Chains A and B, each alone.
Chain A
Amino acid sequence: MLSYGAALLEAIEQEMERDQSVFVMGQGVDDQKGQYGSTLGLHKKFGAARNFDTPIAEDAMTGIAVGAALAGMRPVHVHQRMDFLMLCMNQLVNMAAKYSYMSAGQVSVPMVVRASIGRSWGQGPQHSQAPYPFFMHVPGLKVLAPTTPHDAKGSLIAAIRDDTPVLIVEHRLLYGNQGIVPATEFEIEFGKARILRKGSHVTLVGVSYTVVDCLRAASMLASCGIDAEVIDLLSLAPLDSAAVLESAARTGRLVVVDNSWVTCGAGAELLARLQESPLGEHVRAKRLGYAPVTCPTTRPLEDIFYPSPRSVAVEAMKLCGRDPADLGELAVAREIEEFKGPF
């Protein structure tokens, strides 16, 4: 058993051991906390040249990672908040994503960008966003959002070995979660979602932490006799719509729970693809995600800003023609209560 953070650390240690061109840079990556343990001690093990703190200059540092990747290195650039990627957009969208195409494949940019997302404990308007849909929009970028410690390790190794720029979205509440992780090196497959729970009445699709919401919603639904299938999208770009459509074809009902705003999100894309398929008129579907406002800091508003196991279960009940009042109670998730920041 390893935590999500420890699984990321194991992945990077194995890759740095295997390949001298792999290095890790970012604000605080060599500090005492080591990004939730995921970079802890790398500078001692591999030297300060391969694990270094950076100036607070996200734009240039992203460009520097791009340039090192152009030279054949495999940089992993770590961000403490995905909100900070707004400062990196030019380099990620105009440079990293474009180099291969605009050189007709003469160069590639094998870089990884890791970014923490997520709710809880008053992160507020500028420390809680998960704008992965922005990046799903851009050809030339890949986006992964692992939920389990197993997939965290497999995602990081796959991303490092891939020749295109890959963005890994990591939810803050997942770093402490434990799971079974193979000690050997392995890669997850780009463009492949995971079915975490088989079911026949409704398909629940989550992204990162909302997969946990979906699993809890499935338990609530089970006690009402509804058998939910739960899919962890894992790979957002490329997006495994085939897996979702195949499941929805069986259940006839689909709820997609974004870990971001609903508009132009993963749910929007999946429902559009559903509509374009022959299944369109046979599947009833619903999107969930953040409330369409800025994220509030205070707890009572924060609680209703995010989707929850209950809000997911309520929509599933409605799609199944059942009364949501039949749902039981569910305590607030352990990791939400336990998270006390301050980071």
Chain B
Amino acid sequence: MKCGEIDIRRAYHLLRTIRRSEEKIIEIYSLDVIKSPVHLSIGQEHLAVGACMALDDNDVLFSNYRGHAHYLARGGSLKAFWAELYGKSNGHARGKAGSMHLVDMEVNFMPASAIVASAIPNAVGYALACKMRNEERIVVCFHGDGAADEGVFWESLNFAALKKLPILFICENNGYAIYSTQRQRMAGGSISEKAERFGIPASFHECPGTQQVWKLVSEAADGIRNGNGPQLLEMTTYRWFDHVGTDDDHDLGFRDIALRTGARNRDDVVKLAALLSPADVMAIDERVEAELAAAIAYAETGEFPGSDELMGHDYV
């Protein structure tokens, strides 16, 4: 188990990297160099950072189409990420994936899926393989509240509980499926209450910060690593921008602007910076800007894949 406290300096570096990447995407999106949908993680970065920092290197992550924060928090390549957004052949999947299917096998970050809940059983299957091979690693599956609308989520949870598989479900509950609230879609109690009925530890946490997420995930991972079977952590959070794209959607009237104000007031990028010395913050910020500039330059100077690349990577 991870002991002591989270490394604030490293956590802030990751948070800042994700935040600045997302802001940069917003800044350049109208230039149409990305030419593909993006689902921004902005406002939810701290869940990914707290969780990923609590894991071991050989643990396996399954994400989803809102995966920028997961990928970068896990240590996925920033350069390959930016090149992939640009559709270049120096991207992590040679331009064949884009923002919705991030992958970096160097850090056990599995290819993400753009279909709600669809990678959840894949994560459970990976955990089954880990158990069959008596491996110590665990699988972590990030999903949203919308995934719990899908039957496959509950089927997967049942099987994971039935076979006591080494998997941690992290439900990032941002309250909305596009513009529908959770209550418009779902009867009964919370997702974690229902999950608990499968006989697994499942708990609900209202807007936890980076440090709390790190503690929760460290403890859960420890129990799972000891062979105690799956667990679920439901953590509420807030998506600052639109479901897809880079617009601020608060003018659409489906959610109150006060919610955004509240979310911005508890922004962990600001909170963690306040825990560091101004000199540390300045140094990290400068480093992030340099890394980001290098990654964007790498993307801009990369080549588009040649037409001979269309057919590869499937059998034909």
A-to-B contact residues, CB < 8 Å: 23, 49-50, 54-55, 57, 59-73, 75, 90-91, 94-95, 99-107, 139-140, 142, 164, 238
Contact = CB atoms under 8 A, between A and B. Distances in A.
Nearest to A64: B125
Contact of A67 (B96, B101, B126): B126
B313 A60 contact: no
Contacts of A62: 121
B149 to A, nearest CB: 14
Contacts of B129: 67-68, 71-73
Most buried by A among B123, B156, B315: B315
B151 to A, nearest CB: 7
A23 B133 CA distance: 12
A107 B110 contact: yes
Contact of B125 (A50, A57, A67): A67
Given A60-B159, A63-B118, A103 B314 contact: no
Given A63-B152, A67-B129, A102 B110 contact: no
B159 A105 contact: no
B118 A67 contact: no
Contacts of B201: none
Interface in B278-316: 312-316
Nearest to A190: B315
**Residue from B105, B158, B159 with most neighbouring chain A CB atoms (10 Å):** B159
Given A67-B128, A73-B129, A103-B101, A57 B110 contact: no
B105 A66 contact: no
A61 B162 CA distance: 13
Contacts of A73: 128-129, 132
A107 B118 contact: no
Contacts of A100: 313-314
B113 interface: yes
Contacts of B128: 64, 67-68, 73
B113 A101 contact: no
Contacts of A164: 315
A102 B93 contact: yes
Contact of B121 (A91, A101, A142): A91
Nearest to B62: A67
A222 to B, nearest CB: 38
A314 B80 CA distance: 62
A59 B110 contact: no
Contact of B314 (A49, A101, A107): A101
Residue with the greatest number of chain A CB neighbours at <10 A, chosen from B115, B121, B126, B313: B121
B91 to A, nearest CB: 8
Contacts of B96: 101-102, 104
Interface string B108-137: 001101010011111111111110100000
B152 A70 contact: no
Nearest to A57: B155
A238 B93 CA distance: 25
B125 A68 contact: yes
Interface residues of B, number: 39
A105 B158 contact: no
26 contacts: A60-B156, A62-B121, A63-B120, A63-B122, A63-B124, A63-B152, A64-B122, A67-B122, A67-B126, A67-B127, A68-B125, A68-B129, A70-B110, A70-B126, A73-B129, A90-B118, A95-B122, A101-B313, A102-B101, A103-B93, A103-B103, A103-B313, A107-B103, A139-B316, A142-B315, A164-B315
Given A55-B162, A238-B316, A99 B152 contact: no
B263 interface: no
Contacts of B130: 71
A60 B101 contact: no
A95 B156 CA distance: 15
Contacts of B34: none
Contact of A64 (B105, B121, B313): B121
B97 interface: yes
Contacts of B316: 139, 238
A63 B93 contact: no
Interface string B62-82: 000000000000000000000
B250 interface: no
Given A70-B110, A70-B126, A95 B158 contact: no
Interface in B132-186: 132, 151-152, 155-156, 158-159, 162
A55 B129 CA distance: 18
B122 A55 contact: no
Contact of B123 (A23, A61, A67): A67
Contacts of A139: 314, 316
B116 to A, nearest CB: 10
B94 interface: yes
Contacts of B123: 67
B249 to A, nearest CB: 27
Contacts of A102: 93, 96-97, 101, 103, 111
Given A64-B125, A103-B101, 16 more contacts: A57-B159, A60-B124, A63-B156, A66-B121, A67-B124, A67-B126, A70-B125, A73-B132, A94-B113, A95-B115, A103-B103, A104-B313, A106-B93, A107-B103, A164-B315, A238-B315
A216 B152 CA distance: 45
A279 B2 CA distance: 70
